[in-house]
Amino acid sequence: DTRIAVVTGASSGIGEATARTLAEQGFHVVIGARRLDRLEKIAEDIGGTALELDVTDQDSVDAFAAVLPRVDVLVNNAGGAKGLATVAEADLDDWRWMWETNVLGTLRITKALLPKLIESGDGLVVTVTSVAALEAYDNGAGYTTAKHAEGVLHRTLRGELLGKPVRLTEIAPGAVETEFSLVRFEGDQDRADKVYEGITPLVAADVADVIGFVASRPSHVNIDQIVVKPRDQASSG
Ligand code: NJP
């Protein structure tokens, strides 16, 4: 039986690269995101299945989960950031978007697919958090708090599933050149480019390689957490 890997947020960046890597490893990959046109092109390329998915919408998550016959791997990758602001000037709409997408989005899809991951007999949940899940930095609290919460959600599940046939790995990337910064700054390319000043960022395939490594370990091996950063990216405290 072909093993099925689900990758959320696979219409670009790390998710797209991960879908390609897992397809090369022999998984049938089901890719979900809001931009179905992009997904369909990627699915055609990799021989996978494209399904519309909005992780902030429970009906969308339920419809997505309902059509999956089995799930062996779930990559919780859908996410992102909006804005940069001090706590004093926090934009509540930006915070709401980040919490809905990164925290409740990951909760919704994980909850919906958990029974199938357990049923698989050898399930794997990979959650793409961030170095922002491990650190605090000025102007970043909307994103860092959301990514911390997503990380704690994932690590809690790791404890709760002990004794069940599901492995859980958190991947915490540093700066990766994707559409992430464009989304954060709402299409402002100049601001997005400044993020990478002084460092050579990772590319999406660097992170996908790590996820591919995790997915190809034997079923008794759990890799709890991997932090992957550009060589010259400092810790931010
Ligand atoms: O960014 P991007 P990345 N429902 O913008 C999707 C984390 N990370 O690959 O829905 C479903 O290219 C969106 O698809 P669409 C980051 O927090 C990154 O860098 O079609 N999907 C797109 O496919 C995130 O968790 C960096 O717009 C939704 C994807 O998410 C993960 O890496 C650093 C959605 C985002 O792809 C992948 O981000 C770091 C929704 N409601 C952590 N909303 C970095 N790049 O530097 C968005 O530490 N998506």
Q: Which residues of 36-48 are buried (b: 16+ CB within 10 A; e: fewer)?
A: eebbbebbeebeb
Gap from CA of 108 to ligand 1 centroid (Å): 16
What angle, 0 to 180 degrees and rounded to 10, lies between the N-to-C axes of helices 58-66 and 105-120? Answer: 20
Which of 195, 229, 197, 225 is CA-nearest to residue 211?
225
Instruction: Show the ligand 1 pocket: residues with CB < 6 angstroms.
Output: 8-15, 33-35, 53-56, 77-80, 101, 105, 128, 130-132, 173-176, 178-180, 183, 204
* Reported ipTM: 0.99
| Residue-wise DSSP of 106-157 | HHHHHHHHHHHHHHHSSEEEEEE--GGGT---TT-HHHHHHHHHHHHHHHHH
Q: Going residue by residue through the chain, which has 237 residues, state the pLDDT in tens, using 9 for 90 and above.
A: 899 999 999 999 999 999 999 999 999 999 999 999 999 999 999 999 999 999 999 999 999 999 999 999 999 999 999 999 999 999 999 999 999 999 999 999 999 999 999 999 999 999 999 999 999 999 999 999 999 999 999 999 999 999 999 999 999 999 999 999 999 999 999 998 888 888 999 999 999 999 999 999 999 999 999 999 999 998 764
